Structure 1
Amino acid sequence: MSGFKTVMLMSALTALFMALGYTLGGSGGAVIALLAAAGMNLFTFWNADRIVLSMHHAREVDEASAPEFVGLVRELAQRAGLPMPRVYLIDEPHPNAFATGRNPDNAAVAATTGLLSMLTREEVAGVMAHELGHVKNRDTLIMTMVATIAGAISMLANFGLFFRGNSGNGHGNMLAGLLAVIVAPFAAMIVQMAISRTREYGADAAGAQISGNPHALASALAKISGQAQRIPNPVAQRNPAAAQLYIVPTHVSELFSTHPATEKRIAALHDMAAHMGTPAASGRSSRASALSPVAAPSRRRSSALDPLRRD
């Protein structure tokens, strides 16, 4: 994302903070909101990744606690020419993954246990390569900053509605109520502007190149997209702005979706595979991963990377 577009985004978010501050405290409230927004922007630049990971209750893993998963990420990072990111697991049945961090040297990738238990090793490789594609394309800083700040704006709007609701000021009640209704969707629109749908296509393309297997990523998207809509995601339900972090969208309004249709992404990946000359997988094959000569054991229905070691 260009520096100009980033500045415009943060200016719009700051303007929203000031508008809400004015609603709560007049011109003095707007000044306080401006100072708070400036401080939050600076804090978020350095800490957005920690905030997002904490919000998901993610736990960091290493070769001792999750050797296959961490080893796979290490192989992919080497193929991508990236520093080894920190690796996290989220103990949730919801199948999804995301990347965060202000730059490739401070990046982190995370996946849910639901995703690892659902996919084959090759499919997990495709998903994590997609996330490393975001890191390589330097999408992660703006993704995490926008998710954090947009969520804060929504909470501030709700606070303003509650505060004014007890103030006895009818005009303030009406204005605060209007802001509370429109700010959250407007923040989601800013997210959509900041993380355009072309970003996901770009990460898909980068992930296919990194893993060397566009079909595996396409297969993973087909498997998890429906489940991601069906299985609740508590974080996205509390903070809809977080939905733009994930590899597939959660159950949010299509009007504000930051992801292209999964079917279009899958079609683009198959086209890319045809240009790369990558053969399509046949059925539930146990053939070796593009990153490893060892096939996942065919007796296991769950992923070879299942952190729960379920048989």
Structure 2
Amino acid sequence: MLRIGLFLLTNLAVLVLAGIIFNLFGFEGILAANGVDLNLSGLLTLCAVFGFGGAFVSLLLSKTIARMTTRTQVITQPGTADEQWLVDTVRELSQKAGIGMPDVGIFPMQQANAFATGWNRNSALVAVSAGLLQRFNRDEARAVIGHEIGHVANGDMVTLALVQGVVNTFVMFFARLVGFFVDRVILKNEQGLGIGYYVTSIIMDILFGFLAMMVVAWFSRRREYRADAAGAGLTSRESMAGALMRIKQESEAGREQPLPSNMKAFGIYGNMGALFASHPPLEDRILALQNR
């Protein structure tokens, strides 16, 4: 869940910044072509450039931001038995999944969690929390790692970036249509593009951006079932279901600690509102595995 949340929030920030740059550098002039007429095809093209650009900037920055936000320490030379086991397990499962060896890290959190991120399936980062290594048995921890490697092998981050690029394009496009409507129809401005247009379009970028996150979160929930299936294939169905059950038990016992707000959707599980949840309920995931 850590993986998706950070990507979404980074993307939203990039999207808002792109909207400001879109305004400041005069790209909005295309709207004023032919008086009050809108050059819709030209506007859509510009929005696609900025929309996909924002999504792929978020993707390219995902490893760096994830390391910084979670304070992940990448293991360059294993110093403990746990670190050696973790590196060996990631190497084994990566080879089995047919991907390049990811960077391996541990982040200092007592909550049992893990994430994988990166722009390339052969240049990823897989990290687990200190709490997971301390409390989960080897089969459970191995299944969690298999789940995260499943995300990498399935190319989920690239696919998510493509989906986000499409969503971004239409967020920026419709935000500017609303801005144009407010400026010309409500405020009755007939002298180019006024302040009403610029303020409204930026506000709409933020509002539509949050609504778009619901669409991306829905897509992410579908991908979680595939990652669970991949984890079960790399380890075993029993181990994957057992790991999810262990996470559920810890959650019910109140052992989890809240993740930073910008990381809540990046881990193997998390609690968010239903419309913004990047992961299905643990009960549904366990049931899906048991019915495979």
User: TM-score, length-normalised on structure 2?
Assistant: 0.65
Give the match for residue 21 of structure 1. Answer: 20
> Distance in 1 between the 2:17 and 2:203 partners?
15
For the pair 1:270 / 2:259, whether they are aligned, the reply is: no
Give the match for residue 97 of structure 2. Answer: 80
1:192 aligns with one of 211, 217, 224 = 217
2:237 aligns with one of 207, 211, 214 = 214
Deviation at residue 146 of structure 1 after TM alignment: 8.6
**AA matched with 2:265:** Q
Q: How does 1:276-287 map to 2 (within 5 A)?
A: none
Question: Which structure has more RCO (C-alpha within 8 Å, separation ≥ 6)?
Answer: 2
For the pair 1:253 / 2:273, whether they are aligned, the reply is: yes
CA contact (8 A) 2:23 2:198 kept: no
Q: 1:177 to 1:225 in 2, by over 3 A?
A: farther
Identity %: 29
> Distance in 2 between the 1:114 and 1:53 partners?
17
- Poorly superposed stretches of 4+, deviation over 4 Å: 12-16, 22-31, 33-42, 142-147, 170-181
RMSD between aligned alpha carbons?
A: 4.2
CA contact (8 A) 1:204 1:269 kept: yes
**AA matched with 1:266:** I
1:56 aligns with one of 66, 70, 76 = 70
Deviation at residue 48 of structure 1 after TM alignment: 2.2
For the pair 1:232 / 2:253, whether they are aligned, the reply is: no
Give the match for residue 244 of structure 1. Answer: 265
1:105 aligns with one of 122, 126, 144 = 122
User: TM-score, length-normalised on structure 1?
Assistant: 0.61
**Which structure 2 segments of 5+ residues have no match?**
1-7, 31-45, 172-194
CA contact (8 A) 1:95 1:113 kept: yes
For the pair 1:201 / 2:208, whether they are aligned, the reply is: no
Q: How does 1:124-135 map to 2 (within 5 A)?
A: 124-135=141-152
User: What is the number of residues matched between the two proteins?
Assistant: 237
Deviation at residue 136 of structure 1 after TM alignment: 0.9
CA contact (8 A) 1:192 1:257 kept: yes
For the pair 1:223 / 2:271, whether they are aligned, the reply is: no
> Distance in 2 between the 1:112 and 1:80 partners?
22
